[in-house]
A and B are shown apart, each in its own frame.
Chain A
Amino acid sequence: MPNHKIDPNNWIKLYSDYLFNYTITRVSDGVIAQDLVSETFLAGLKSMANFKGEASERTWLISILKRKIIDYYRKINSNKGKAEVRMSYNSDTDAEGDWLEERVADPFDKTAEDKLENSELGDAIHDCLGKLPEKQAQVFKMKTILGYDTETICNELGITASNLWVIIHRARTALADCMQKNWF
């Protein structure tokens, strides 16, 4: 029984940031992440007929994206030459000379748990952002996450500064409410 409907018209609006965040925590390169996300949307479009409605659209798109990420890693690993010699002690030419120190585990490095918690937190933030009205979410993302100037945002969206602060205020109040349950 199909519970979920599929509607590609809203995909970019609803899921692109979520998918991008998911990808960037796994490939850590902005440009590649962008490519993988847009490939995912295109692949989703092609195989729309396979969507059975058992999972939500987002889950379904994530499952495609996961395959894309695996394929990406497979591809860079099978590039000729890289498969054999994997002995570069460090890629930084500046740090040439000190090998051993570089290879000792960094005690201040992020542990796996921290990373896991961070990606869960990221998911929670995206869920809450998804519940905001579109304009609020857009302004909040530009201001807070992308760190654009007030002026730049105002010019791009054609709003006044006081307008912007009202929107920011509403978005922050709603987000704090949404995040309060689990994360504060």
Chain B
Amino acid sequence: MSNLKLSCQEANHVCDKNQYKEASFWEKVKLNIHLIYCKACRKYSMRNGKLSKVIQSSKVEVLDTTAKDKMKTAFEKELAKHQ
């Protein structure tokens, strides 16, 4: 029975993983059991889910790391000429 219970910290960790679909089935079951009786984690879960949804719906984009590095080296070369 005791291994069905998660601490709040563990619950939040599972919730974070779940935002990236990386939580296992049992972890999700345990998370849901925890959420039944823990108000603080319910709140965290709700906000976390909303954050994921908002970011997904915004279709926000960032530079990928290689492109950024390339841009950085090119820019620094120019910057060196200016200083």
Contact = CB atoms under 8 A, between A and B. Distances in A.
Contacts of B48: 172, 176
Given A169-B12, A179-B54, A42 B75 contact: yes
Contacts of B50: 176, 184
Contact of A145 (B44, B51, B60): B60
Contacts of B72: 12
Nearest to A48: B82
B68 A16 contact: yes
Contact of A42 (B13, B52, B68, B78): B78
10 contacts: A8-B82, A17-B68, A20-B61, A24-B61, A38-B75, A125-B54, A125-B58, A175-B51, A176-B51, A179-B54
Contacts of A34: 63, 67, 71
B60 A126 contact: yes
B20 A143 contact: yes
Contacts, number: 95
Contacts of A118: 57-59
B47 A176 contact: yes
A37 B60 contact: no
Task: Say what secondary structure dominates the interface of chain A.
Answer: helix
Contacts of A24: 61
Contacts of A156: 65
Interface residues on B, range: 20 to 34
A165 interface: yes
Interface of A: 8-9, 11-12, 16-17, 20-21, 24, 34, 37-38, 41-42, 45, 48, 118, 121-122, 125-126, 141-146, 150, 156, 165, 168-169, 172-173, 175-176, 179-180, 183-184
B40 interface: no
Most chain A CB within 10 A, of B13, B44, B63, B68, is at B63
B14 to A, nearest CB: 10
State the 6 A-B residue pairs at the shortest beta-carbon distance, nearest first.
A121-B58, A17-B62, A176-B47, A122-B60, A38-B71, A12-B72
A146 B62 CA distance: 7
A16 B60 contact: no
Contacts of B79: 8-9, 45
A16 B47 contact: no
Contacts of A143: 20
A173 to B, nearest CB: 8
Contacts of A173: 44
A21 B74 contact: no
